[in-house]
Amino acid sequence: MKGYHLEGHQYYEQQLKYKGHLTQIGMVQQKKLGQLIREEYINEKKLLGNNYDINEISIYSSNSSRCLQSANSFVQGLYPEESVLINNRIIQNNLIDPPYFYDKFQKFNSQFQQINELQGNELKVYPFPIRNFGVDDHILNPTLQNKKNVIDQQKKQSMNIVQEEIQQFERELKQIKSKIGLQEGFNHFDVSSLFDMSLSQKYFGISYNLSQFEYDLLNYLKAFQKLHGQYTQYYSRVTISPLLNYLLKLIDLKIQNLISMNMIFGFTHDSRIVPLLQLFELINLKKQKSELYSITKTVEQYPPYCANFTLELYQKQNDQQITSKEDHIMKDHFRIGIKYNGKYIQIPNHQNHFLDFNSFQSFIKNNIVSDQEYNTFTGSNIQTQQFLESFITSKK
């Protein structure tokens, strides 16, 4: 990210080539996350079978290379090669020949003929389906017809307060610029670019000898700049509404036993993580600043790579057969637990980590804007009906 500021530096061409894409370190990180989820939800909680079953799990991604690469890397950890059921029965060689003419085919094919009979387990990497929301892509990636104008206007309104905060650390920022070797012309008031550049380089194995405090400082200032300039409370509330609306409807379909999936994964951007941090009050700029010089951190800063939320749906024991037809009574039998980076969080104004579904539903609905308000701000429709209908159809 922001590699174009590093002209003349080592690996400059590589930075430009992979701008906005996932590094190999990122792929390993996502794979390890998949392994951790497998240990908890497959090996321990038995929510899914040990072997991949297309009817148990759905994987969705924003239509972005790094999100698709993240999803693919994650699922390789969730379902390693040995956990994929394959056809071990003996099959005829000609069944694997694709209908493609190649003038040297006979010579090429003779290599296979040396093997008496080919087995199905020659497939070493399973092609897991990674789906896209299509017309409902705004669930994972916010859609604003005039996004740049909206953000520019918000930045203009908050310019003074952001610059005043950054000026308090001008000496430290100049030192960071010097360590990286940036030209004096680089405006260090763009701390978001400075942070992205420094962190991305770190994932390429280049640290510039920046201290942990310097990374924390850039993280805090980026959060300050982003929350005032882009992810304002209103911007976040509006743009997160499609995802929250989708989650409520999806959970409702599961409660009614209208969908068969036991786990659904979505791979998205910080444009979804940051608003969720605000919604659940996990990010606090005042506490972030007070903790800058502290080893212990009690609040989240700008979300790290591979940041993740988990929503768990629980049903009370011995209530597997619910006879009540009244919606609110039926939902009393279900609870919601929410994790951020593997730790249960507490929903604001509620005492317990696990919340009954009706209370969770009320909390979410109070933070979703109306269809008209969403349309006025974004120029698009908040509804996700077409996608949800496809879920029900797939079960039937």
DSSP 354-365: EEEHHHHHHHHH
Q: How confident is the model at residue 91 (pLDDT cuts 50, 70, 90)?
A: low
Give pLDDT, residue 216.
94
Q: Kindly give, in sequence order, each residue whose CB lies less than 8 Å from that of residue 184, ignoring residues fewer than 6 positions away.
A: none
Tell me the percentage of the chain whose pLDDT exceeds 90.
51
Q: What residue ranges of the chain are covered by domains with CATH 3.40.50.1240?
A: 1-86+123-396
> Quick count: other Cβ atoms within 10 Å of Cβ 223?
26
Q: Is the pLDDT of residue 396 over 50?
A: no
Give pLDDT, residue 124.
60
Q: Is the pLDDT of residue 391 over 70?
A: no
- Mean pLDDT, residues 20-36: 92
- For the chain, the 3-state helix, strand and coil shares in percent, each to the nearest 5, are 50, 10, 40
Q: What are phi and psi of 257, to 5 degrees?
A: 60, 40
129-133, 280-284, 286-290, 319-323: range with lowest mean pLDDT: 319-323
Cα separation, 254 vs 43, in Å, equals: 22
Give pLDDT, residue 384.
63
Give pLDDT, residue 390.
66
**Better-scored residue on pLDDT, 345 or 330:** 345
For the segment 334-387, what is each residue's pLDDT rounded down to a tens digit? 999 999 999 999 999 888 889 999 999 999 999 999 989 988 888 877 766 666
The mean predicted confidence, pLDDT, of the chain is 85
Q: How confident is the model at residue 20 (pLDDT cuts 50, 70, 90)?
A: confident
- Mean pLDDT, residues 26-50: 95
Give pLDDT, residue 88.
62
Annotation: CATH topology of 1-86+123-396: Rossmann fold (3.40.50)
45-49, 122-126, 149-153, 220-224: range with lowest mean pLDDT: 122-126
Cα separation, 149 vs 377, in Å, equals: 12
**Better-scored residue on pLDDT, 257 or 81:** 257
**What separation in angstroms does the CA of 182 have from each of 21, 169, 174, 186?**
23, 17, 10, 7
Q: Is the pLDDT of residue 122 over 60?
A: no
Cα separation, 71 vs 62, in Å, equals: 10
